[in-house]
């Protein structure tokens, strides 16, 4: 773990993080290493973002946490994943959901042949009694859904689908919400609204959120802390202020570089700063 | 008028068998070609319980129904569970092999001669007059009524109960269902149990009406085109498909050639596959699933 | 297509590369196999000869189905229908026209080709499960037509066919059939090997592994699919013709759905995507009932079920097929390859990757 992290978080740190990945390595088909040496933390009530471009390994990390690696003949071959101190690597998905980690997937995120209401009802939550009240809460967070109760999910627009996906995830009463590509295919204003809703959800329901995003400005807008993933490794991490101000992040992820575009080949400074962070 | 009665009865038979095909396909995307054999096993189960619970036909029927349900769940847990994740074709071949196994086992256990569970239960099967010139046997009438009840029950279950919704969800998107806490194995086992139960029910009623023999399996195989014509994942489709196939069969026997009756469903099946592979009411899916 | 050989074999020109037999080990195996096959008829009694003949007959059909299902990826549950077509063509031509072997064989082939076209047409629109179902439907239709013919022409117990005559020589002894069927089997095998080594085989495997990709790469998918069906059906029909002559008897009951399943079992038990698998599978499925019968002598409850041998057959067959599907999806060839690997890699061990073989 990097010194920078220790520095900034020492003041508000709880004794142990909610989710902790330690030197995790994920291997596909026993030969292809997708991510290596990944260590990250999500604290209680924290929004953490995983940034990076396509194919960096962000979704693999989410799949490793939520137990979906087996589907693609992959497994966590090294390292540990601890949730609340308990090891959860290579477990079945419904077990992980039962522990309170729920994933909002990137694709196929709703049941297309069921109505909105049925989508919410289909969920088997951790606390069965919370069903009706949670459903009410979902409709309050997403009033658009309340108007579309009987609509078949296959006919919803992209933004409505994402709302329904998040809503059905909430029905599981999660303690950690994993969101894969919140903004994919959505109009900027819709993304803004969703991001604001996520902050409200974190505040009211007291859950942590691990957000995987290609859209760095949006992610850094709501995240307390962020990790940047490249080629299966974490190359940078820090809180919002530090990352937003970092030259390389500004150039490569925020598109806010100085005069003239820097070529990705011209990475001397990048490599130097990567050494700082180890 | 008698023709109409015959059509209704045959439609009910095919419908009751088809809903088994539809249930399993809709929920787990597996085509259960052992359904005919499982149906036959259910009927032989009734034979066994009838002789077991000599003087209590009601108990015998209930026990046979429970047996059929248990067999369905056992088939899933013991066999099909291992095939989840394999290609769909491998799963279908597995069901074919299971059907062959069951055929052998049933013949070994009960012999190849014709049996009459009706006599074992101590019941009779009188003919009932319908209208001026048509008759229907009591067992057939019971079958028609029960088919209607089963379908009503299934519709209610799938539309309005929690677990019915979850079954439909698991059928549409198993990955997401697993993520939302739905135990897929439980849902699949339930689907198989229900399918075998309805199939066993059909087998029992057919056996009560016209005797029981291992050749009953062909009825199960003929009901399969009915399910596919309507759409393998639609219960409404199964009803409509059964009507089409049943009517075609009865009319062909009456007006054209009795020999055609066994092969007519397959002509209709072929025509439907060429014109509209996903059936009348099925969801238009990607049809390359190997 | 060729396997990795043990070190020491280098190919330095194309002629060497194209040779069928490349290593000394392969030459050794071939010599041993040919020697065994040549001496077998002189050592075996009539019963064993009959078994061998049945295995050769089944191999032709199995190779044909392996081409279609194992290499081209088109599932066909209607194989028995194609066998029936060849057999019935032979029977009908013989009974109605007194046709000789020289007419019935090509006629069977032609009927097979035509029927292959019919069976293959749905494959242009359907794939996987639905294609299998369409072949199933076609099988029933063909069986129905055969039954109709029998009933209409009064041959309800079947058509008797005389042994074939070539010149003045009648083909009716076990050893003569052995020679003929062995040659037919080898010829089929060579045709299959040839097809698979050429562009056709590559196109088929491309279609099997990824149809959309194959189409994008310029493989004429519909044409090759139909070709697979036609070639496979022609071979199967010829096998049906030979079957009719060998048995001397054609009846629709012999071509049931169970026969189709047996051929599928040959392909699966043998190992999909391998010609050796087709041969092994054919041998396995043909010899299986005899093995069961022999085993039943030893079973304690044999007396009780001795009258229902076919039921025991069914049960055992279903069980074995399930066993292979669940535990050994790569079939006997998979077992053979594992044995080979063990010897090649000893003292190292390696679990093969799922997609590699």
Q: Looking up tokens 């979902």, which residue turns up? A: A138
Inter-chain touch B179–A114, beta carbons under 8 Å: no
- Best to test chain B binding among C262, C311, C317 (most B CBs inside 10 Å): C311
pLDDT tens digit string along A65-82? 988 887 778 888 889 999
Query: Do residues A21 and A38 lie in contact, with contact meaning Cβ atoms separated by under 8 Å?
Result: yes
Q: Which two tokens stand for residue A189?
A: 């204003």
Please state, in angstroms and as integers, the Cα–Cα distance from residue A58 to each residue in A95, A191, A214, C98, C123, following that order.
22, 19, 9, 75, 40
Q: Is the pLDDT of residue C136 over 60?
A: yes
Q: Which residues of A touch B176 (CB under 8 A)?
A: 105, 108-111
Question: B217-230 and B264-275 are packed helices; what angle lies between their axes, rounded to 10 degrees?
Answer: 30
Are the beta carbons of B266 and C137 separated by less than 8 Å?
Answer: yes
Q: C interface mutation test: which of A29, A32, A72 has the most C CBs within 10 A? A: A29
ipTM of the complex: 0.87
> Which chains would you list as touching C if contact means 3+ CB atom pairs under 8 Å?
A, B
- Average pLDDT (B73-96) is 86
Interface test with B, best of C119, C124, C133, C329 (most B CBs within 10 A): C133
Confidence of residue A269 (pLDDT cuts 50, 70, 90): low
Out of A2-16, B87-101, B177-191, least confident range: A2-16
pLDDT value at residue A276: 44
Model confidence at B233, pLDDT cuts 50, 70, 90, reads confident
Substitution target in C267, C322, C328, C331 with the highest count of B β-carbons within 10 Å is C322
Distance, CA of C106 to CA of C113 (rounded, Å): 10
For residue B33, which of B43, B45, B25, B41 has the smallest C-alpha distance? B25
Extract the tokens encoding A218.
Answer: 């949006």
Q: Which helix (H) or strand (E) element contains residue A176?
A: strand A176-180
The answer to whether the beta carbons of residues C160 and C87 sit under 8 Å apart is: no
pLDDT score of B225: 92
pLDDT of residue C58: 95
Contact A227, A277 (CB under 8 A): no
Per-residue HEC secondary structure of B121-181 comes to HCCCCCEEEECCCEEEEHHHHHHHHHHHHHHHHHHHHHHHCHHHHHHHHHHHCHHHHHHCC
CB < 8 Å to B259, chain C? 144, 147-148, 151
Whether C141 and B270 lie within 8 Å, measured CB to CB: yes
Q: Which of B81, B163, B169, B170 to mutate to test the interface with A (most CBs of A within 10 A)?
A: B169
**Torsion angle in degrees (nearest 10) through CA of B36, B37, B42, B48:** 140
Contacts of C351 in chain A (CB under 8 A): 30
* pLDDT grade for B50, boundaries at 50, 70 and 90: confident
Is C354–A31 a contact, with Cβ atoms under 8 angstroms apart?
no
Residues of C whose CB is below 8 A from B31: 129, 133
CB contact at 8 A, A114 and B169: yes
Count CA atoms closer than 13 A to C66's CA, side-chain side: 31
* Degrees to nearest 5, angle at CA B84 with B81 and B90: 105
| Range of weakest confidence among A257-261, B48-52, B144-148, C340-344 | A257-261
| Cβ of residue A73 closer than 8 Å to a chain C Cβ | yes
Residue B80 is classified by DSSP as I
C356, pLDDT greater than 50: no
Give the model confidence (pLDDT) of A27-40 as tens digits.
888 788 889 999 99
Tell whether B181 lies on the interface with A, counting CB pairs under 8 A: yes
CB atoms within 10 A of CB C112: 29
Chain A segment 58-117 residues within 8 A of B by beta carbon are 66, 68, 71, 92-94, 97-98, 102-103, 105, 108-114
| CB contacts, 8 Å: C289 with chain B | none
CA distance B202 to chain A (A): 29
**Smallest CA–CA distance from A121 into chain B, residue:** B162
Question: Is this prediction's pTM over 0.90?
Answer: no
Q: Is the pLDDT of residue B289 over 50?
A: no
C137 with B270: Cβ contact below 8 A: yes
Residues of A in contact with B172 (CB under 8 A): 111-114
Say if residue C65's pLDDT is above 90. Answer: yes
**B284 touching A (Cβ < 8 Å):** no
Q: Which residues on chain C are in Cβ contact (under 8 Å) with B94?
A: 322, 325-326
- Among B201, B52, B212, B193, residue whose Cα is nearest residue B118: B212
From B168, B179, B183, residue closest to A103, measured CB to CB: B179
The minimum CA-CA distance between C356 and chain A, rounded to whole Å, is 11
Q: What tokens were used for A87?
A: 């090891």
Going by pLDDT thresholds of 50, 70 and 90, the confidence category of residue B290 is: very low
pLDDT at position C61 over 90: yes
- Number of B:C CB contacts under 8 A? 135
- Res. B189: pLDDT tops 60: yes
pLDDT band at C293 (very low <50, low <70, confident <90, very high): confident
* Closest to A94 measured CA to CA, from A67, A76, A127: A67
Q: And the tokens for C84?
A: 């029936």
Which chains have at least 3 CB atom pairs separated by less than 8 Å from chain A? B, C
Work out the minimum CA distance from B122 to partner chain C, whole angstroms: 30
The residue in chain A having the minimum alpha-carbon distance to the alpha carbon of residue B173 is A111
- For C242-265, write each residue's pLDDT tens digit: 999 898 888 888 898 999 999 999
Euclidean distance between CA atoms C103 and A272, whole angstroms:
84
- A170 preceded by cis ω (within 30°)? no
* pLDDT over 90 (residue B195): yes
């Amino acid at each position: 773990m990097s010194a920078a992290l220790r520095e900034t978080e020492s003041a508000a740190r709880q004794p142990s993080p909610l989710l902790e990945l330690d030197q995790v390595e994920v291997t596909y088909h026993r030969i292809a290493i997708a991510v290596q040496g990944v260590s990250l933390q999500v604290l209680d009530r924290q929004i953490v973002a995983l940034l990076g471009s396509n194919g960096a390994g962000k979704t693999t990390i989410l799949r490793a946490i939520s137990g979906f690696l087996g589907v693609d003949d992959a497994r966590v071959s090294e390292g540990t994943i601890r949730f609340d101190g308990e090891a959860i690597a290579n477990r079945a998905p419904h077990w992980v959901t039962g522990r309170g980690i729920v994933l909002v997937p990137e694709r196929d995120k709703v049941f297309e042949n069921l109505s909105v209401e049925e989508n919410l009802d289909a969920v088997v939550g951790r606390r069965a009694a919370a069903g009706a009240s949670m459903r009410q809460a979902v409709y309050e967070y997403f009033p658009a859904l309340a108007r579309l109760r009987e609509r078949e999910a296959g006919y919803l627009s992209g933004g409505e689908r994402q709302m329904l996906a998040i809503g059905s995830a909430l029905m599981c009463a999660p303690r950690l919400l994993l969101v894969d590509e919140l903004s994919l295919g959505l109009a900027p204003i819709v993304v803004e609204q969703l991001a604001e809703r996520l902050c409200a959800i974190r505040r009211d329901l007291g859950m942590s959120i691990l957000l995987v995003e290609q859209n760095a400005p949006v992610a850094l807008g709501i995240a307390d802390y962020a990790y940047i993933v490249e080629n299966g490794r974490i190359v940078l991490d820090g809180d919002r202020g530090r990352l937003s101000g970092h030259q390389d992040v500004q150039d490569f992820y925020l598109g806010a570089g100085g005069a003239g575009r820097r070529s990705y080949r011209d990475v001397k400074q990048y490599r130097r700063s990567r050494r700082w962070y180890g | 008028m008698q023709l109409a009665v015959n059509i209704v009865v045959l439609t009910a038979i095919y419908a009751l068998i088809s809903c088994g095909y539809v249930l399993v396909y809709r929920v787990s995307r597996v085509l259960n070609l052992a359904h005919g054999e499982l149906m036959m096993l259910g009927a032989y189960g009734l034979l066994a319980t009838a002789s077991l619970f000599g003087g209590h036909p009601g108990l015998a029927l209930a026990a046979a129904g429970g047996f059929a349900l248990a067999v369905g769940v056992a088939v899933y847990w013991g066999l099909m569970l291992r095939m989840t994740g394999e290609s769909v074709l491998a799963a279908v071949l597995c069901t074919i092999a299971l059907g062959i196994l069951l055929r052998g086992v049933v013949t070994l256990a009960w012999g190849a001669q014709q049996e009459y569970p009706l006599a074992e239960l101590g019941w009779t099967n009188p003919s009932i007059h319908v209208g001026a010139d048509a008759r229907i046997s009591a067992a057939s009438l019971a079958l028609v009524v029960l088919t209607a009840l089963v379908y009503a029950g299934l519709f209610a279950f799938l539309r309005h109960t929690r677990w019915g919704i979850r079954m439909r969800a698991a059928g549409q998107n198993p990955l997401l269902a697993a993520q939302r806490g739905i135990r897929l194995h439980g849902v699949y086992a339930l689907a198989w149990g229900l399918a075998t139960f309805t199939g066993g029910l059909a087998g029992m009623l057919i056996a009560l009406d016209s005797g029981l023999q291992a050749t009953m399996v062909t009825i199960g195989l003929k009901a399969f085109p009915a399910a596919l014509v309507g759409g393998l994942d639609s219960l409404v489709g199964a009803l409509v498909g059964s009507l089409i196939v049943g009517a075609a069969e009865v009319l062909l026997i009456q007006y054209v050639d009795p020999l055609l009756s066994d092969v007519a469903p397959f002509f209709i099946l072929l025509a439907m596959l060429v014109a509209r592979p996903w059936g009348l009411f099925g969801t238009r899916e990607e049809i390359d699933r190997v | 297509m060729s396997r990795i050989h043990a070190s020491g074999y280098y190919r330095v020109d194309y002629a060497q590369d194209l040779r069928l037999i490349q290593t000394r080990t392969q030459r050794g195996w071939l010599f041993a196999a040919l020697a065994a096959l040549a001496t077998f008829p002189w050592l075996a009694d009539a019963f064993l000869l009959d078994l061998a003949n049945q295995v050769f007959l089944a191999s032709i059909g199995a190779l044909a189905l392996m081409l279609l299902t194992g290499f081209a990826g088109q599932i066909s549950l209607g194989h028995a229908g194609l066998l029936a077509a060849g057999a019935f063509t032979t029977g009908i031509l013989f009974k109605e026209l007194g046709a000789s072997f020289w007419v019935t064989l090509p006629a069977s082939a032609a009927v097979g080709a035509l029927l292959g076209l019919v069976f293959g047409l749905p494959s242009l629109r359907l794939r996987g499960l639905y294609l299998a179902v369409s072949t199933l439907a076609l099988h029933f239709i063909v069986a129905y037509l055969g039954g109709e013919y029998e009933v209409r022409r009064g041959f309800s117990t079947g058509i008797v066919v005389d042994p074939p005559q070539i010149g003045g020589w009648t083909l009716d002894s076990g050893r003569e059939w052995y020679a003929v069927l062995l040659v037919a089997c080898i010829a089929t095998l060579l045709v299959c090997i040839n097809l698979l080594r050429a562009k056709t085989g590559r196109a088929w495997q491309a279609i099997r592994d990824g149809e959309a990709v194959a189409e994008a790469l310029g493989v004429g998918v519909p044409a090759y699919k139909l070709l697979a069906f036609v070639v496979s059906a022609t071979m199967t029909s010829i096998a049906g013709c030979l079957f009719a002559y060998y048995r001397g008897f054609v009846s629709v009951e012999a071509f049931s759905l169970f026969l189709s399943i047996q051929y599928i079992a040959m392909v699966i038990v043998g190992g999909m995507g391998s010609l050796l698998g087709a041969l092994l599978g054919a041998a396995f499925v043909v010899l299986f009932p005899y093995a069961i019968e022999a085993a039943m002598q030893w079973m304690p409850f044999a007396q009780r079920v001795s009258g229902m041998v076919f039921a025991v057959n069914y049960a055992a067959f279903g069980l074995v097929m399930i066993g292979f599907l669940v535990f050994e999806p790569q079939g006997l060839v998979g077992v053979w390859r594992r044995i080979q690997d063990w010897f090649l890699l000893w003292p190292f061990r390696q679990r093969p990757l799922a997609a590699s073989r």
